[in-house]
Amino acid sequence: MSLPANKGPIALHYHELTRLATEQDRFLGFEGTVMAGTPALRLGWSALAGCVIDEILGILNGTTNFILTAMEAGRAYEDALLEAQRLGYAEADPVGDVEGYDAAAKVAILANVLFGAELRPGDVERQGITRLTPEDIARALAAGERWKLIGRLRREGKRMRASVRPERLPISHPLAFVSGTTNAITYSTDLLGPVTLIGLGAGGRPTGFALLSDLLEIHRRWSK
């Protein structure tokens, strides 16, 4: 049994780890690696198993979403980052969050787990939020749009297109309403259309719940 909440091993070695788990008749749980306790992965591989998923897009990093929400309220990027650090949302070295590395790792996990791809975080096209200015934010709002750091996966024939970058979303888009440190993900499916899941994406309790959900999955599998 292995229940990692650390996304690094799954982002870099998912296929190797699942192969080893299968060979040794072990369960590998990793729900906590994307959106913590909010069941983003389980929704994709279990609840939507009867659908073809054509595209996935999500707000996968709470720190950058907090900063963008603060900038909408009139804060400069630097002030919003300092506030995120003061509140414990951002690390002393925030590069992993604000430059999109954290979100890219989660996009790679989604691609490998749900699409059977063989992507590494470095294969994901990546751009962070550090170039956005208050003027960019204001222009988007004036046009009825909001900036969000979006992780996106899309099938293009046999090719998988993966990216993390700031995008302007129409106010009418479900992800445009997601503010603060909240995460969200939208699955575009053939049978149900777009399905959006919104919830906490980090923190001790949500991560603990992710581990609990994996333990319950073990119980379901081995209690039969």
What are the residue numbers of the active site?
106
Please report, to the nearest 10 degrees, the dihedral formed by the alpha carbons of residues 131, 187, 29, 100 taken in order. Answer: -10
Please classify residue 46 by burial: count the beta carbons closer than 10 Å to its beta carbon, then call 0-12 exposed, 13-18 middle and 19+ buried.
Answer: exposed
Q: Which of the 8 DSSP states describes residue 72?
A: H
> Locate tokens 């609990």: which residue?
212
In sequence order, the 6+-apart residues with CB closer than 8 A to the CB of 179 are 65, 69
**How many other β-carbons are positioned within 10 Å of the β-carbon of residue 209?**
19
The rounded radius of gyration (Å) of the Cα atoms in the chain is 18
Q: What's the CA gap between 4 and 44, in Å, rounded? A: 19
Q: How far apart are the first and last CA of the chain?
A: 17
